[in-house]
Homo-oligomer: A and B are copies of this chain.
Amino acid sequence: MTETQPNQNRTLPDRDAPIGVFDSGVGGLTVVREIIRQIPNEKIIYFGDTARVPYGNKSQETVTRFSEQIVRFLRTFQVKTIVAACNTVSAYAMEALERDIDIPILGVVKPGAKTAVSATRNGRIGVIATEATIGSQIYTKYITELNQNVSIYGKACPLFVPLVEEGLLEDPVTDEIARRYLTELIDIDIDTLILGCTHYPLIRSTLGRIMGERVTLVNPAYETARKLRELLTGRNLLCETPPGLGSNRYQFYVSDKADKFVRFANSIIKYGILSAKTVNIETY
C-alpha cells in the first residue's frame, strides 16, 4: 500500500513501532515464535506475568484487571498493536480491553476457532484449555458462529500450565495426566483438537501421540500470526525494513524470575535471548 499512497508517509513512524505481546507466563512465547517466523521484520515487546501465573484458574474480574495493567505497561512503548497471546485473556478480557484502546488488539481464540472449522471432516471438534477458557464457552461461541453443524467438546486441563511452567515438556507425568484429560475426547471421536492455551503447543508431541494420527491438532498461534500480518498489512503498519544488527529487536519483560524465564524462552525461541527485565506490574 505504501507505493500507492505516498502522501501517507506520516504513518511511517507507526510502522517501525513494536508489537506488544503478553501472556500470564511463558506460553505466549509460542505465539512470538510464530510472529517471528511469519513477519520477521517486526520488533516485539513481550510481557509475561510470571509473578501471578497461572491465569486459567482465576476469575474474569481478576484476569481483566491484570490484563489492563499489562496493556498500560505495553503502551508505554508506543506499540502499534497488541496481541493477547493467552487464551484465558482472550476469553475473559477482550471486550474490556478493546473498549479502552485506540490501537488494534488481537486475541488468539477467533483465529484458532476458524482454523478448526476448516480442519474438521467429521464435525467433531475438541477444545482443551484452562478452566477459565472452557468455562467461558468462548470457542463454542465462535465456532458455532462459523458453522452451526459442528459439535464442540471442551475439556479443562488445569494441570498442563503448571506442568509446562515446570518444564516437564517430555515427561511420563505429563503423559499420564494428558492421557487422563484426553481419554473422553478420544471416546467422543473428535477429529480436530484445538490447543486452546498458548502453553499447550509446548507439549504438542505428547498430545499428538495420545490423540493419534487421525486427529488434527490446531495451534492457534500460527493463525494468530497470520491474522496479525493481515491486519498490519491492511492498515499499512507492516514493517518493511529488516532490523539492523544490534537493534534490540525483541525485548522481554516479566513480573518475576527473569533468569528462569530467559532459560525457558531460549528453549522455545531459538534466537539467543540474552535477558529479560523485571517489572512491578501492579504499579501500572
Report which A residues bind B (CB closer than 8 A).
50-52, 57-59, 61-62, 65, 158-159, 162-163, 165-166, 172-173, 176-177, 180, 255-257, 280, 282
Contact = CB atoms under 8 A, between A and B. Distances in A.
Given A65-B280, A158-B166, 15 more contacts: A50-B58, A51-B62, A52-B52, A57-B165, A57-B166, A57-B257, A59-B257, A62-B256, A62-B257, A159-B163, A159-B173, A162-B162, A172-B180, A173-B177, A282-B282
A184 to B, nearest CB: 15
Nearest to A49: B52
Nearest to A50: B58
A113 B36 CA distance: 50
Contacts of A255: 62
B51 A257 contact: no
Copy tally for this chain in the complex stands at 2
Contact of A162 (B50, B51, B158): B158
A167 to B, nearest CB: 10
B162 A58 contact: no
A59 B159 CA distance: 21
A257 B58 contact: yes
Nearest to A256: B62
Contacts of A50: 58
A126 B60 CA distance: 40
15 contacts: A50-B58, A52-B52, A57-B165, A58-B256, A59-B256, A61-B256, A62-B257, A158-B162, A159-B159, A159-B163, A159-B166, A159-B173, A172-B180, A173-B176, A173-B177
A177 B172 CA distance: 10
Contacts of A177: 173
A169 B255 CA distance: 31
A257 B43 CA distance: 37
Nearest to A166: B158
Contacts of A61: 256
A58 B62 contact: no
